[in-house]
Amino acid sequence: MMAGIAALFCQEIRVINLGLEVFAQELQRLGVPVIHVAWSPPAGGDPRKAALLAALADEEEE
């Protein structure tokens, strides 16, 4: 199986944009497939709840 990065070099770049909208807008203008995420801080920015969420996050896939 091709290593991940080498595989990427053969694919169309398709982007999920998390954060500054300007990046999604630029890509849209260039015709690059992109979806912008209306992101907001987890748990409304509450650090205690964010810590709980981190403790309960799914473990990495093996």
Partner 1 sequence: MSIKTANQAALDRLVQAQPVLVDCLTAEQAMGFTGRTMLHAGPPLSWERACPTMQAALLCATRYEGWATDDTTALDLIRSGEVRLGTCHHLGAVGPMTGIITPSMPVFVVENRAAGNRAHVTINEGLGKVLRFGANDESVVERLRWLHREAGPVLGAAIRASGSIDLRVLMAQALRMGDEMHQRNVAASCLLARTLMVHLARLPADSQAVARVADFMAANDQFFLNIAMAAGKASTEPCVGIPDSTMVVTMARNGTDFGIRVAGLGDRWFTAPVEVPQGFYFPGFGPEDANPDIGDSAIVETMGLGGFAMAASPAVARFVGAGGMQEAIRATEEMAEICLGEHPHFRIPILDERGTPVGIDVRKVVETGITPLINTGIAGKKPGVGQIGGGVARAPIACFEQALEALAARRGPTHG
Partner 2 sequence: MSGETIRTLVKKSAYQDSVVLLALARELRTGRGVLEAAALMGTPANKELLAQSGLLTREAETAGANDLAIVIRADSMAAAELAVSQAEAFFTSKQQRLCRAGHSLPRTLDGARRHFPGANLVVVSVPGPFAASEARKALSAGLHVMLFSDNVVVEDEVSLKRLATKRGLLLMGPDCGTAILNGVPLGFANAVPRGRVGLVAASGTGLQQVACLLAARGEGISQAIGVGARDMTEKVGGLMTLQALDALGADPATELIIVIGKPPSPSVRKQVQVRLRAISKPGVLALLGREVREEQEGELRTVATMEDAAEAALAALHGVPWAPRPFGAPREEIHRRVLAIQQTLAPQQRGVRGLYAGGTLAHEATLVLESLLGAVATNLIPGSTGHHRVLDLGADEFTVGRPHPMLDSTLRVEAIRLAAREPQVAVLLLDVVLGYGAAPDPAGDIAPALEAARADARAEGRDLAIVASVIGTPGDPQGIESQTARLEAAGAWLLPSNAQAVRAAACIAGGDPIMRLLFEPMEATER
Q: What are phi and psi of 47, to 5 degrees?
A: -70, -35
Provide the minimum distance between the beta carbon of 10 and partner 2 in the complex, in angstroms, as a whole number.
8
Task: Write out the H or E segment, with its range, that includes residue 35.
Answer: strand 34-37
8 A C-beta contact, residue 53 and residue 43: yes
Of these partners, partner 2, partner 1, none, which one is at the site of residue 49 (CB under 5 to 8 Å by kind)?
partner 1
Please report, as residue ranges, which positions from 2 to 61 form the binding site for partner 2 (by CB under 8 A): 3-6, 8-9, 11-28, 30, 32-33, 35-42, 44-45, 50, 54, 57-58, 60-61
Piece in contact with partner 1 (CB under 8 A), picked from 5-13, 14-22, 28-36, 48-56: 48-56
Q: Nearest-CA neighbor of 54 among 39, 38, 43?
A: 43
